[in-house]
């Protein structure tokens, strides 16, 4: 049986601005997304029949049709029925390292890896943009997870414009294992509390451009100025999540108080909080300081760094 093993990196938001409502029920966003070294390993293997199977080493991850990786395989089967008939179904094995329900796009990254893996398994020869287009039908973060690196994401997050890749910036991540924040809740609550500030005339490009405040952080990224990037981190969703989730707010305050932390923020809709630091040595020191301050075993801590790639194939068989 043929198989491919792929690495699917997590992402953090360096910037997240909510601009307006969209007619499809989503929000018009301006985001800067960044791939990081914390990643899951995905194996896709051909089956002799036309079924889809999902296995995962993490008890919280469903292995049924609700799993985004399963849905990615089902999408490929629907889009390319002749390839399914020729090559057979697929068994997907997810070796999870990215924390679950963390605002790090772990599920989206897994789905992106499945799209890339099946493209290879079935010899489809799809381009990266075709894979991104398929991914957009699964979720807003999937196209980015295919592409990876450093990008500006607009629309609901599916329209990507690459930025120069950031060299290795070290990051400390913190997430309470038992704590989850619903993305839908976060955006809905933001709409309820701050919807009056939205740009109404979304068809007017000038109004839209004026509403976006990401220029300073984009300049900092173009200059590869880590300190300036760290000073310009921004996430509108903190305005609703931090008051509602004191643990997340406390983590952010704790990071901000540590020596060597250049900047700290919640990623996406949370509850993961991250800090940008000067070096790997500093990152390890900050991790130890946070662990000493919060000895709770429920708190997961990770040291990682920015990476320049999305889905990567590490091995193939057959």
Catalytic residues: 11, 141
102 labeled binding residue? yes
Tell me the CA distances in angstroms from 209 to 134, 214, 271, one per residue in order.
28, 10, 29
**CA distances in angstroms from 144 to 54, 62, 170, listed in the order given:** 23, 23, 21
157 is an annotated ligand-binding site residue: no
243 is in an annotated binding site: no
CA atoms within 13 A on the CB side of 167: 9
47 is in an annotated binding site: no
- Contact 309/36 with Cβ under 8 angstroms? no
Task: With beta carbons less than 8 A apart as the criterion, state whether 281 and 170 touch.
Answer: no
Q: Is 182 annotated as a binding residue?
A: no
From CA 53, how far away is CA 92, in angstroms rounded?
Answer: 6
Nearest-angstrom CA–CA distance, 252 and 271: 10
CA pair distance 47, 50, nearest whole angstrom: 7
109 marked ligand binding residue: yes
Q: Is 136 annotated as a binding residue?
A: no
d(CA 118, CA 4): 9
Ligand-binding site membership of 99 (annotated)? yes
Report whether 30 belongs to an annotated binding site. Answer: no
Give me the residues paired with residue 7 across strands.
41, 312
Q: Is 103 annotated as a binding residue?
A: yes
Q: Is 104 annotated as a binding residue?
A: yes
Binding-site annotation, residues: 99-109
Binding-site annotation, residues for ATP: 99-109
């Amino acid at each position: 049986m043929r198989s491919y093993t792929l690495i699917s990196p997590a992402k953090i938001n360096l910037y997240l601005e909510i601009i307006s409502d969209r007619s499809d029920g989503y929000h018009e966003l301006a985001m800067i997304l960044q791939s990081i070294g914390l990643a899951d390993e995905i194996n896709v293997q051909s089956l002799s029949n036309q079924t889809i199977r999902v296995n995962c080493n993490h008890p919280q991850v469903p292995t049924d049709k609700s799993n985004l990786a399963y849905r990615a395989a089902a999408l490929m089967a629907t889009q390319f029925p002749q390839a399914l008939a020729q090559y057979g179904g697929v068994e997907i094995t997810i070796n999870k390292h990215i924390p679950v329900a963390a605002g790090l796009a772990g599920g989206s990254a897994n789905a992106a890896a499945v799209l890339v893996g099946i493209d290879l398994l079935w010899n489809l020869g799809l381009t990266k943009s075709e894979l991104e287009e398929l991914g957009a039908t699964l979720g807003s973060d999937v196209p980015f997870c295919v592409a990876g690196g450093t990008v500006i994401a607009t629309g609901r997050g599916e329209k990507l414009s690459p930025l120069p890749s950031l060299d290795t910036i070290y990051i400390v991540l913190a997430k309470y294992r038992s704590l989850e924040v619903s993305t839908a809740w976060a955006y809905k609550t933001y709409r309820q509390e701050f919807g009056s500030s939205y740009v109404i005339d979304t068809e007017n490009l000038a109004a839209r451009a004026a509403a976006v405040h990401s220029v300073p952080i984009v300049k900092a990224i173009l200059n590869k100025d880590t300190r300036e990037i760290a000073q310009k981190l921004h996430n509108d969703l903190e305005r609703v999540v931090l008051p509602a989730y004191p643990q997340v707010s406390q983590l952010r305050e704790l990071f901000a108080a540590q020596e060597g932390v250049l900047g700290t923020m919640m990623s996406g809709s949370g509850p993961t909080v991250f800090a940008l630091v000067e070096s790997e040595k500093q990152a390890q020191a900050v991790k130890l300081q946070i662990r000493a301050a919060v000895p709770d075993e429920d708190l997961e801590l990770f040291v990682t760094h920015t990476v320049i790639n999305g889905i990567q194939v590490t091995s193939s068989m057959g």
